[in-house]
């Protein structure tokens, strides 16, 4: 089984909207519905779990009725105090129907331009490893600053990559990697792959997708609207 965990518990305050960004409507549908549709339609995705606040679940069910094309939705999970706790909550719920050797694909609701090709690449890339991380190479020169005011050193951009979602992991190993970080270390985690790396899991990198960006600012939202408009 390949289960998809969609993270939709964030507030999206940096966008400046009065509702979380993933629930903003773009051309008659909210942002999260775009990745729900893509994941539901993919032949290699068997189940969908969504982390979401209870107050948004009625709204989400409306979109699930339309865009969960293959009825793969399994249930909602409660958001945690940070992103990684939300992931752990989702994993614990998925544990009710998934086996240790299954795969879990973790995706942000605010990345609506997820492609069928990227989903396939993540799942196929799991062969022979414990997880897969889509990455983008750094295009700009990268500097380190210890105080945020002055340049401390120059980093080699050829060995630095920007991680994207979806990330895919062997379910049982990844669940245990997150459990080991309780109760405090999990609160310091910023990226989904961090617990896997800390646990010594073998994580392969695959090419990411420039269009699979996360909507964080107003400029990102405008970019997304333009792409959707161009695609008709």
pLDDT of residue 14: 60
Residue 22 CA to residue 10 CA, distance in Å, equals 8
Which pLDDT value is given to residue 59? 92
95 by DSSP, 3-state: which?
coil
Q: Residue-wise over 88-109: b if at least 16 C-beta within 10 A, else e?
A: bbbbebbeeebeeebbbbbbbb
Residue carrying structure tokens 């380190």: 144
* 123 within 8 A of 2, measured Cβ to Cβ: yes
Question: Which pLDDT score is estimated for 10?
Answer: 77
Question: In whole angstroms, what is the distance from residue 99 CA to residue 103 CA?
Answer: 9
- Any alpha helices (H) in the chain, and if so which ranges? 31-41, 54-67, 83-94, 116-124, 171-179, 194-198, 218-231
CA distance linking residue 62 with residue 72, whole number of Å: 15
How far is Cα 42 from Cα 78, in angstroms, rounded to an integer?
A: 25
Say if residues 119 and 18 touch (Cβ distance below 8 Å): no
Residuewise pLDDT in 10s, the chain (232 residues): 999 999 998 765 566 668 899 999 999 999 999 999 999 999 999 999 999 999 999 999 999 999 999 999 999 999 999 999 999 999 999 999 999 999 999 999 999 999 999 999 999 999 999 999 999 999 999 999 999 999 999 999 999 999 999 999 999 999 999 999 999 999 999 999 999 999 999 999 999 999 999 999 999 999 999 999 998 7
């Amino acid at each position: 089984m390949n289960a998809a965990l969609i993270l939709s518990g964030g507030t999206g305050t940096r966008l400046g909207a009065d509702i979380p960004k993933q629930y903003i409507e773009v051309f008659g549908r909210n942002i999260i519905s775009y990745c729900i549709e893509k994941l539901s339609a993919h032949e290699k995705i068997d189940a969908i779990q969504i982390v979401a606040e209870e107050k948004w679940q009625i709204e989400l069910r409306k979109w699930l009725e339309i865009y969960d094309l293959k009825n793969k939705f399994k249930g909602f999970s409660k958001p945690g105090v940070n992103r990684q706790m939300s992931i752990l909550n989702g994993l614990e719920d998925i544990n009710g129907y998934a086996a240790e050797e299954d795969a879990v694909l973790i995706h942000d609701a605010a990345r609506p331009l997820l492609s069928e090709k990227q989903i396939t690449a993540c799942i196929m890339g799991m062969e022979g490893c414990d997880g897969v991380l889509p990455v983008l190479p750094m295009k700009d020169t990268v500097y380190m600053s210890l105080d945020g005011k002055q340049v401390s050193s120059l980093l080699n951009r050829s060995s630095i990559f920007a991680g994207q979602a979806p990330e895919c992991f062997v379910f049982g190993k990844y669940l245990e990697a997150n459990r080991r970080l309780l109760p405090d270390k999990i609160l310091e985690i910023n990226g989904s792959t961090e617990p896997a790396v800390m646990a010594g899991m073998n994580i392969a990198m695959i090419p990411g997708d420039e269009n699979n960006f996360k909507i964080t600012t107003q400029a990102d939202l405008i970019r997304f609207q333009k792409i959707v408009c161009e695609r008709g």
